[in-house]
Structure 1
Amino acid sequence: MFRWLLTNGLTILVIMSVSIYRGYDSNAVLFGKLLGQGAFILFLVNLNMYFVFLLIRKSRIRDVKVSLAKTSKKMMKYHVPFAVTATLLILTHAMFMGYAHFGSLFQAKTASGAVAILVLSVLLYSGYRRRQKATGKRRKFHYTMAFIFIAFALGHIFL
Structure 2
Amino acid sequence: MYHRIWSVVNVLLIIGSIIYIWLFRPHDNTLIVISQFLAQIAMILFIFNVNMYFIFLIIRKTNKREVKIRLATFSRYFMKWHIKISISSTILIVGHVLINLVKIGPVIGYENIKMLMGYTSFVFLLVTLFAGYLRHKKATGFRKKFHRITAMIFTVLFLIHMLAPI
Fold equivalence (TM over 0.5):
yes
Correspondence list, 1:121-140, <5 A: 121-140=126-145
Deviation readout 1:56-96 (Å, 9 max, x if unpaired):
00011111111110010111011000000000000000111
**SS of the residue 1:52 aligns to:** helix
Determine the structure 2 residue equivalent to 1:150.
155
Tell me how far 1:33 sits from its aligned partner. 0.5
Correspondence list, 1:3-14, <5 A: 3-14=5-16
- TM-score, normalised via structure 2 length: 0.92
Structure 1 unmatched runs, 5+: none
- TM-score, normalised via structure 1 length: 0.96
Tell me how far 1:14 sits from its aligned partner. 1.1
- Please provide the CA RMSD for this pair: 1.0
AA in 1 matched with 2:74: T
Tell me how far 1:22 sits from its aligned partner. 2.0
Correspondence list, 1:74-153, <5 A: 74-103=77-106, 104-153=109-158
Q: CA separation in 2, counterparts of 1:25 and 1:144? A: 38
Q: CA separation in 1, counterparts of 2:6 and 2:157? A: 21
Q: CA separation in 1, counterparts of 2:25 and 2:88? A: 26
**SS of the residue 2:39 aligns to:** helix
Structure 2 unmatched runs, 5+: none
Determine the structure 1 residue equivalent to 2:20.
18
Q: CA separation in 1, counterparts of 2:85 and 2:117? A: 23
The percentage of counterpart residues that share the same residue type is 35
Q: CA separation in 2, counterparts of 1:116 and 1:127? A: 16
Aligned length: 159
